Chains A and B, each alone.
Chain A
Amino acid sequence: MRKGFGSIVLDVAFRHLAPFMILYAVYVLVHGHYGPGGGFQAGAMLGLALCLVQLVQGHDAKPKWGLGMTAGLVLACVGALIYVGIGLAAFVWSGNFLDYGVLPIAAIPAEARALGILGIESGVTLGVMGVIFVIFDLLTRDKGQGA
């Protein structure tokens, strides 16, 4: 998998598909309150878009666009950290774990709750995206190529 697809049809098609997948993933994330979707789906779609980018480019020494292995791991951990951080932040204002209503980020508790859920979902998105990309990167790595 050092080279990408190598076929001009697949390259051109996926080059145009990847940005729309990323845009749709962000839509699924922020529209998760009102329709089907949410953090996990958006994260899986973002991860798949990044895998497509990797498939088009191949494992070159310097990929022009996309994530590396380390960046994927860091993003996954940052996602988990955002989730736990927002959950624990409610303790400071004497709420329960993941009790967003007490957070002083909005005037009324309902709005704080909505914003808190959006923050949690962003964390989930980052985590799922990073993990899917890291799994794909490990599976397509050549033998003898270190982590």
Chain B
Amino acid sequence: MELVQPAFLLVQLVAALIALNHRDLMVAVIMFAAFSFCSALLFTLMDAVDVGFTEAIVGAATTLFYIAVLYRVKRRSSA
């Protein structure tokens, strides 16, 4: 059970690195959603249910906004 939090932290690290480095912005948005979800789970595991709840809702809202922005811009970044 004590390995759950490091596992989530590892998933967060991998998701953050992929979101930073991937060319396809849709993949970056999905990885950011995974990052946000793992962070909500971590807050809940640390008995901060209120923070975790807020993080889950704000993560859903920002994912929706990013996808709405992807509708406006080109999907692939040039860098």
**For A76, what are the chain B residues with a Cβ–Cβ distance below 8 Å?**
none
Contact (Cβ within 8 A) A140 B60? no
Given the known inter-chain contacts A36-B49, A36-B50, please indicate yes or no for A139 contacting B68, CB distance below 8 A: yes
B54 near A40 with CB under 8 A, answer yes
Give bound CA distance, A56 to B49, whole Å.
31
B54: nearest residue on chain A (CB-CB)?
A41
Task: Please report which residues of chain A, range 91-134, place their CB below 8 angstroms from some CB of chain B when the two chains form the complex.
Answer: 132
How many A-B contacts at CB < 8 Å in the complex?
33
The distance in angstroms between the C-alpha atoms of A50 and B60, with both chains bound, is 13
Question: Contact residue range for chain A?
Answer: 10 to 19
Whether, in the assembled complex, B64 has its beta carbon less than 8 Å from a beta carbon of chain A, the answer is yes
Per-residue contact bits, chain B 28-49, to A (CB 8 Å; 1 contact, 0 not): 0000000000000000000001
A36 touches B53 (CB 8 A): yes
Q: Residues of B within 8 Å of A, CB-based: how many?
A: 14
Flag whether A78 is at the interface (Cβ < 8 A).
no
Contact in complex: B61, A47 (CB < 8 Å): yes
Chain A residues contacting B54 (CB-CB under 8 Å) are: 40-41
Q: For the complex, is A89 an interface residue (Cβ under 8 Å from B)? A: no
Q: Is the beta-carbon distance between B53 and A136 smaller than 8 angstroms?
A: no
**A18 at interface, CB cutoff 8 A:** no
Are A48 and B68 interface neighbours, CB within 8 A?
A: no
The answer to whether B64 and A1 touch across the interface, beta carbons within 8 angstroms, is no
* Minimum C-beta distance from A127 to chain B (A): 14
Q: Are B71 and A48 in contact (CB under 8 A)?
A: no
Q: How far, in angstroms, from A1 to B72 measured CA to CA in the complex?
A: 10
| A contact residues around B57 at 8 Å (CB) | 41, 44-45, 48
| Shortest Cβ gap from B48 to chain A (Å) | 9
B interface list, Cβ under 8 A from A? 49-50, 53-54, 57-58, 60-61, 64-65, 68-69, 71-72
